[in-house]
Amino acid sequence: MAKDRKIDLVILGLLFHEDLTGYDIKKRIDGAISFFWKGSFGSIYPALSEMEKSGLVKKRRAVDSGRREKILYHITDEGINALKEWLNVEQAANDLKYETMLKLYFGGAEEKGIALKNICYFEEQVKKDLAILQVYQKNLEKVLDKKDHIYYYLTVTFGIDTYEAYLKWCGRAKKYLEAC
Amino acid sequence: MAKDRKIDLVILGLLFHEDLTGYDIKKRIDGAISFFWKGSFGSIYPALSEMEKSGLVKKRRAVDSGRREKILYHITDEGINALKEWLNVEQAANDLKYETMLKLYFGGAEEKGIALKNICYFEEQVKKDLAILQVYQKNLEKVLDKKDHIYYYLTVTFGIDTYEAYLKWCGRAKKYLEAC
DNA sequence: ATCAGCATGTAAGGCGTTACATGATTCA
DNA sequence: TGAATCATGTAACGCCTTACATGCTGAT
């Protein structure tokens, strides 16, 4: 497996539960996962091809008579081992890029009003995303007894907790800036 | 300026206050900025060269008689305009990659204890980083009256607030997992 | 009939990291 | 004397995004 290509692990993690097409994988990533990891078709399809060559996944052609060709991928034992190995490694890269904070840090190059505006833009985006996460949370609360849903739930609460902290900070930051 | 290369703006933001060498810029980024943006020599030096060609910065050779050659860069009016333009654009990419959350999301592929361990690793890292941020905060509180320090201070409190939210979440997540 | 969604892929190119190469200075 | 820090840069390489190319299906 490619050394630093985390998309491989995302794919293996998703395939651990069920066989999926590349398109399905993209849809899953665009759901709750997108709050802490992203992926595009341009990275998913090549990754699937390479992982098939190295034996981590295998193809299962579902012809669905009449439908367009659709390739279901299935995780192999080797793939499961790779997934488990990764879970057992301590190292985890949490790589955060906040362009909003960059703009705020350099806010002194413009008037105070510009910095305030940028905080407001951020606040609006966070509110929208938080609303989405809260819907995920409600849906997950109904099925918490099911295997694995506890893990999905915890990542969603992580998002909610941090987004709520963002909003509190926005309120304080705006007051602080306005007052000075 | 390169369309999506944010390192250019980091450099311009830093040069807005004072002339710096590439080495200095790297040190600044490795300080408080590193909590929301990162940069390596391999990106800084080429960016400086290109920005000099396009007129955003210019060289000021400081020979310091006897010392090794040291290139001080100075921001131009064009550079200041580019910086201000960026600050005035609403769009800000806040791109977060939490490998820890990825591992937690797929935690069901291993025993519960592995997920707990991964939360603990995360917790330890966050505690260390939080301690560093608190030192920055204390130092900044002494000089809040100085121009621009308010902006540095706000980004540091942003980090502290989110890291504290992480820690609270870690406590709850561990209890939640242990209980089920 | 047309548009959104399903479905797979390639190509170009940008961004960025790591490692390497070089050498001076300063401090223990 | 040796290690750490100062200081600049290049090379190789990998990852990823965006845009493009293609075509079917199902709903309005």
Query: What are A109-160's pLDDT values in tens digits?
Result: 999 999 999 999 999 999 999 999 999 999 999 988 888 999 999 999 999 9
Confidence of residue B65 (pLDDT cuts 50, 70, 90): very low
pLDDT at A123: 98
- B98 half-sphere exposure, CB direction, 13 A CA radius: 25
Report the phi/psi class of residue B82: left, alpha or beta, with left for phi > 0 and alpha for psi in -120 to 50. alpha
- At how many degrees (to 10) do helices A77-88 and A7-15 cross? 120
> CA-CA distances (angstroms) from residue B74 to A4, A38, B71?
37, 37, 10
pLDDT at A67: 58
pLDDT at residue B13 tops 90 = yes
pLDDT at B57: 97
CA torsion, ordered B24, B28, B31, B32, to nearest 10 deg: 170
Q: Which residues of A touch B118 (CB under 8 A)?
A: 87, 90, 92
> Given an 8 Å threshold on Cβ–Cβ distance, is B95 in contact with A38?
yes
Please give the backbone phi and psi of residue B146, each rounded to the nearest 5 degrees, phi first: -70, 140
pLDDT at B67: 57
Q: Which residues of A touch B97 (CB under 8 A)?
A: 6, 36-38, 93-96
Q: How far is B155 from chain A (nearest CA, A)?
A: 6
Burial of A40 (0-12, 13-18, 19+ CB in 10 A): exposed
B57 bridge partner residues? B75
pLDDT at residue A30 tops 60 = yes
Confidence of residue A175 (pLDDT cuts 50, 70, 90): very high
Residue A44 structure tokens? 């998913």
| Residue A124 contacts B where some CB pair is shorter than 8 Å | no
Instruction: Match 């890292």 to its residue by tokens.
Output: B125
Of residues A45 and B67, more confidently modeled: A45
Contacts (Cβ under 8 Å, ≥6 apart) of B148: A107, A108, B17
The overall average pLDDT reported for chain B is 94
Q: What is the pLDDT of residues B105-116, one digit of tens each?
A: 999 999 999 999
| Whether the Cβ atoms of residue A49 and residue A60 lie closer than 8 Å to each other | no
Of residues A23 and B69, more confidently modeled: A23
Taking CA A57 as the corner, what is the angle to CA A52 and CA A58, rounded to the nearest 5 degrees?
A: 75
Q: What is the pLDDT of residues A70-107, one digit of tens each?
A: 999 999 999 999 999 999 999 999 999 999 999 999 99
Checking each nucleotide's C1' against the CA of A93, the nearest proves to be C17
Cβ-nearest to A98 among B36, B105, B114: B36
In one-letter notation, the amino acid at residue B28 is R
Q: Which residues of B touch A157 (CB under 8 A)?
A: 169, 172-173
pLDDT at B143: 86
pLDDT at residue A174 tops 70 = yes
Least confident of A11-20, A152-161, B140-149: B140-149
DSSP B17-30: TS-B-HHHHHHHHT
Checking each nucleotide's C1' against the CA of A20, the nearest proves to be C7
- At how many degrees (to 10) do helices B77-88 and A112-141 cross? 40
Q: Which residues of B touch A172 (CB under 8 A)?
A: 157
Tell which of B80, B85, B102 to mutate to test the A interface (max A CBs under 10 Å): B102
Q: How far is A47 from chain B (nearest CA, A)?
A: 17
> Given an 8 Å threshold on Cβ–Cβ distance, is B105 in contact with A16?
no
Q: What is the pLDDT of residues A54-77, one digit of tens each?
A: 999 999 977 654 556 799 999 999
- The whole-angstrom separation of Cα B30 and Cα B25 is 9
Nucleotides of strand C within 7 Å of the protein's CB atoms: 6-12, 14-20, 23-25
- The whole-angstrom separation of Cα B73 and Cα B56 is 10
